[in-house]
Every structure is written in C-alpha cells, then in structure tokens.
Amino acid sequence: MRLQKEIMSDIIIRKAAAEDVHTIAEIEKASIPQPWSEAAFADALTQENAVTLVAEAGDEILGFITGVFLFDNADIYSVATSEQHRKKGIGASLLQAFFDTLPSEVETVGLEVRESNSAAISLYEKYGFERVGLRKNFYEEPRENAVLYTKKLR
C-alpha cells in the first residue's frame, strides 16, 4: 500500500493523521451542505477498513478523500478540495491515490453524489465511474437526488 505520493513538485498525498481532522472538517464544511463532524472524521481514522488521505503542500492541507473497503468493495464517502485549490487536479490525484491504497481484493468502488454537483460528476465520469442508479430526495438542505456511481478496478 502506498501511503505517500507526490502529485506536483510541492504537493504530496499522504495518509491523514489525527492532527489533520480539524482542517479536513473545515474543508468539508465549506464544500457541502451537510458535512461530517470532526468526531466522525476522527472515528474514521481509527477504523481498520477506512482510508482517509490528504493532499498537502508545505503545512497546508489542500483537500482530502475518505472511504471504506470491505472484502471486494469500497465506498468513497467524501472528496473535497479547499475552494482556492479547486480545478488544479488535486481531486483527481486524491481519487487515484485512494484506488492505489486499496487492498488488491477490492474490485469495485462506489459513491453517491448530489445530482447538481456537475464538477464532481464530471471528475467521476472522467475516472471511469458509471452511473448505476438514483436515490430520490436522498439529500436534505436542500432536498436533492443522489446519483449512484460505481467503478470496476479489475
């Protein structure tokens, strides 16, 4: 498992640590209407089957990805980049690093995304995710459908 990967000359992707939780939660809070709490991110770091990675430049966390795996499946729970660092390939690099970090048994990765989140949908489709379903009125504040995606890794 690769835990640290350089994506640009000054940006690395590494496994998240406890001291990253506050910043991760702040990026999430600025990115989505119903963010996870700091406690939820801290809990994810303690789970053996969870993966949380951060993209970092110097001492600044630019974005993160978090998800879980079980047997041959993985689910991405959240991917976010700080507003000033969007559209720089960081989200794409976090996705690839997430795939690279998963155990070899994982064959399929799933996720859900707000129907209106065209930037995320574009990224996921670019990386081979295929739309497989819709959950009507899944999200609240505002109420919105969730689009379900999966990607075959093997």
Set 19, 26, 107, 112: catalytic member: 112
Secondary structure (3-state) at 132:
strand
Q: Which H or E run includes 32?
A: none
Report whether 27 contacts 20 (CB < 8 A). no
Q: Is 130 annotated as catalytic?
A: no
Set 28, 56, 124, 139: catalytic member: 124
Is residue 16 packed enough to be buried (19+ CB in 10 Å), middle (13-18) or exposed (0-12)? Answer: buried
Is residue 118 packed enough to be buried (19+ CB in 10 Å), middle (13-18) or exposed (0-12)? Answer: exposed
Report whether 134 contacts 89 (CB < 8 A). no
Q: Is 125 annotated as catalytic?
A: no
Q: Report, as residue numbers or ranges, the catalytic residues.
A: 112, 124
